[in-house]
Structure formats: C-alpha cells, structure tokens
Amino acid sequence: MLKRNVWFIGLFLSGIVYAEDGNKNAYMIEKFDHNGDRVVTQEEFLESATQRFKTMDIDGDHAIEQSEFLQRYAEHSHPTTTDSGAEVGQRVFDKLDENHDTKISEQEYNQSRLKWFAEADKDNDQRIELGK
C-alpha cells in the first residue's frame, strides 16, 4: 500500500491522476516524452517538473504554499483511499515539505521528483522506456 501511495504522489505531482503499476512507463512516456522518441530522459522529466512547479506556484513567489498546494491538489486528485482529498493532500504536502516551513521550495519539489524518477528507472540509465 505504501508503494502505491508513493506512486500516487508522484503521479499527482506530474499532473497525471493515476496509473496502474503495469502501465507506469507508458504513462510517463505519454506525459513527459517531449521529442517523441518513446523515451523519457531525466532532463525531459525535470523540464516538466519546472513547468509543473510554476503552475502550482499560483502567486509566483517561487514557493508552493500549503494553501496553493491544497487548492491544486483538490482540483486534480482522485484519492485512492477512504480518506478525503484534503486529508490525503495534507499528508502529501507534509511529506514534500521536508524542512517543515509550510511551503515547498523548488529544490524540495525537484528532489521529490528525482526520487520518483529513480524509482521508475529500474536499470539506472536515467531513461524511462517501455518494457523496462
């Protein structure tokens, strides 16, 4: 269950609502393959992270405050547990806010993204491909 919840967090942060475990790479390729080569490089992935961060930073102050995060989370999530979207959103926010300053810096955000990418990159070649 924990692995599924971590994957859900990654999917939310990427703008994808949810994907079954067997389709992770296909969803990542669909969402992040900017040049159409059916491969997602870490560079492509981080480009998307930068854009997503800007989208979530509603007031443009280079940080995602708790209220901004919860607003975006409510707009785009479909909780997979019996908890409310607000409860799940708060847990996700708390996990991402590593220094507990009630905002997510771009560095905190990108670190979480890189962890998610590494989990999907089973052969550690900094590429996500179908069948790997």
Query: What tens digit of pLDDT does each residue of 25-39 get?
Result: 888 888 899 899 999
Domain regions of the chain by residue span: 2-129
Best CA proximity match to 70, nearest among 40, 44, 48, 96: 96
Q: Is the pLDDT of residue 97 over 90?
A: yes
Convert 31-63 to b/e letters by CB count within 10 Å (16 or more is b). Answer: bbbeeeeebbbbebbeebbeebbeebbeeeeeb
Instruction: Provide the CA 15 distance to its chain's centre, in angstroms.
Output: 7
Convert 69-100 to b/e letters by CB count within 10 Å (16 or more is b). Answer: bbebbeebbebeeeeebeebbbebbeebbeee
Kindly report the length of the chain. 132
Report, in this order, helix, strand and coil percent for the chain, each rounded to 5: 60, 10, 30
Range in 11-15, 16-20, 27-31, 75-79 with the lowest mean pLDDT: 16-20
Query: What tens digit of pLDDT does each residue of 45-89 get?
Result: 999 999 999 999 999 999 999 999 988 887 766 656 566 677 888
How many Cα atoms occupy the beta-carbon half-sphere of 119 within 13 Å? 17
Q: Is the pLDDT of residue 15 over 70?
A: no
**What CATH architecture does domain 2-129 belong to?**
Orthogonal Bundle (1.10)
Alpha-carbon span 13 to 53, nearest angstrom = 9
H helix or E strand, kind and range, residue 17: none
